[in-house]
Structure 1
Amino acid sequence: MGDRYASFANSDLGRTVVRRLGLPDPPRLRRHDPSAPLTPGPVLLGAASGGRLACPVRELLGRTGVDVSGAAEDGARYGALIFDATGIVDSAGLRALYDFFHPVARSVLGSGRVIVLGTAPEACGSPREATAQRALEGLVRSIGKEFGRGITAQLGYVAPGGEEALESTLRFLLSGRSAYVSGQVIRVGAGAVTAPADWARPLAGKVALITGAARGIGAATARVLARDGAEVIALDVPAAGDDLAGVANEVRGRALQLDLTAPDAPERLAAYLTGGVDVVVHNAGITRDKTLARMDAARWDSVLDVNLSSQERINDVLVERGLIGDGGRIVGVSSIAGIAGNRGQANYATSKAGVIGLVRSGAPVLADRGITINAVAPGFIETAMTARMPVLLREAGRRMNSMAQGGLPVDVAETVAWFASPGSGTVSGNVVRVCGQSLLGA
């Protein structure tokens, strides 16, 4: 089922009605188009005094072919605003943010981008600097809610020494691939990365395993990773065999029928992956909804096993046997339910919060092996599952975010592809919500 309200709101008659009645106004989002430029207009780049990222960012953007301006011009319209806030070392310095954004707040084109770059508070040299850098989160999330028209806002905390590792993240955040990602805080670590030979096909020569790949987000992820050059192994339960085969054939990949909760599943998977794998996407998941008081033990156990424990078992066997090695990427699928909780989904929310814990605890351990681990946390995504929701709940899910609409499976898939890119080698331990800046959760 499509979003009929959004289609109406974007019609000539609908725009008039929406504006007169003050109804939610879902904009047309700019999504990935390989023939389109990275941004819909030039980038205005500003910096606080003493910032360390403006020069590297200018050089990175130069390689993408984006026009960059260092000073605002009267009447100019911008595809993106980027501000280097790393030079802000106390609360008084936060005035630089107002001085940069206030004059140009209405100058961003529809579906434009706002990016603020700073230093993670825990990496700051003084309590005052850490305080000022933490304040950036409030600014970014407010901009995401104020600017409208499909404009997104993000905060990137870049570790000293992570300047050159920023390119993959900048490309993602500036592009149409991040259409439904807004109000997020992303940490880019220090270290060198190997840039893809071709940014249009960054996964060329890589093998990607995607669980729960027969439909929805999993199928979209298979398509996007294949588009980016990966050889895809699409995995799902035998009962989804026909749909799974269809996806695998479409992306010219391989289909693997396997129940991940079977006692011998890790061994069977390891035997199949004798040649190793470069990217693992843990998308398989189920729901068995009941309030906790009415939930039987089987509903609890099955959801935790599929959504969380199976990920741990697969990761353990792949890492211990070297089937995913240096440069490997592990991406889990969490949910905003794991951040905010949800009535009637205590089991599901617990499992998805556990995925966040798996990412946060696993990142430092896997870093020693050169493997990154991150997670996406989708909000309301237009899938067959959400189409079956009661109409009022479905409409609330669609409208209660800064984009006033639901996301698409491809929005989640694009975020997974960014995590999977060779250029994202210092991006680890992140949980990025793909929710249009939902009003639910942090």
Structure 2
Amino acid sequence: MSEIRVEPYRVRRIGAHSHIRGLGLDENGKAIMVADGLVGQAEARQAAGIVVKMIKEGRISGRGILLVGPPGTGKTALAVAIARELGEDTPFVIMSGSEIYSSEKRKTEILMEAVRKALGVRLTERRLVYEGVVKNIVIRRAKHPLVPYLTVPREAKITLATRDEEVTLTVPEEVTQQIVELGVRKGDVIWIDAQTGRVHREGRVREFQDVKTYDVETRRIVETPSGPVKKEKEIVNVLTLHDLDMYVAAQRSLVSIFGFTLEREIPSEARKQVDETVRKWIEDKKAAIVPGVLFIDDAHMLDIEAFSFLTRAMESEFAPILILATNRGVARIRGTDMESPHGMPLDLLDRLLIIPTRPYNADEIREIIKIRAQEEEVELDSKALEKLVEIGSKYSLRYAVQLMEPARILAEQRGESKIHVEDVEEARKLFIDISTSVEYLREYEKLFLK
């Protein structure tokens, strides 16, 4: 493993929707109260399930989806769940409507890049990998060379086991960083590419000794691999059309004296070349198109030019599944003087299947907080949980979830491993909610600059 090389990694962060595995529907397409990381929103999830079926049957051409509802009602979670239902290798691109406004690129170029990022090309190859259940893992850390009070992972000793063999590997910093980023722990099934060092987590096993599992499990349950740990494995890689666009554009563009490709808009000729190549791969059965999901939050921030582009993009040969979300009612269409439902042109709304979401009740908030506590690996006692439910019901679910991490740190400062109700109450005093913030502004209004 001494020759393993990988690309630099990004520091791991627990995402707000990292626990979602699907829509949580039964065999009849009805929503289960708590399943696949989702809670409540039964009608919206059932509607999303119908959308997934339409996508899989190739019957959504020319249409898009619009999620409408108040803030914090799970619109983004629903979009993530749709992407999960379509498959693990389904490209999922998330952006805000305000991201199209840039001084460096045209709005249509930014949208075109997003559309191309949401279209995958599935290629299959055989690779030599180390695969097994993580039986033990020890990570050695060292001080950061530039920031002495920080530590960074340097190497890891990891034991992988199959039904037939057990191997202990010492992996270098690049692989260790990926292990940390992915949150790999005992009981996870992973494979490590022996040539590139790429790490992939396949899921989690239930039957493995000393592994903690949950009734509401947020990681895919898989079987323990059999055979040797080191083996040849068929690996499916999914590249996006944008990845291919960038590669072709880099071959065409000028290179600076420092060796970096000059950043600019991708020429249409490069995209045409990629499209022709992909069509040939498909005809030769070397590849397949994977329609991904382009999710645009705060879609009311788009302007009339962007809406026109998206209307045309939905009808193109290579088109992703377009999901828009908004929390606006009747609003002005940006770039015009006209008002319309959700601040969108009527001709675009006519092409969208609209799915409403509704505020969560107390029972649903309780289950969501339990799931987030599990995902963020914090322990709540029963009174702390009920306090967070009360806060979520009175103020907002997001505020209740945001209080968990400060409360955990306060509990640790008291020498406790579990969050108690006093930790939650102290966190509330330190980090106020929106309504308290408004009261604060009114109280000290004269002292603020205008």
Please report the TM-score for the alignment, with normalisation by the length of structure 2: 0.25
Higher-Rg member (1/2): 2
| Higher fraction of strand | 2
Q: Which has the higher contact order (CA 8 A, sep 6+)?
A: 2
Please report the TM-score for the alignment, with normalisation by the length of structure 1: 0.25
| Higher fraction of helix | 1
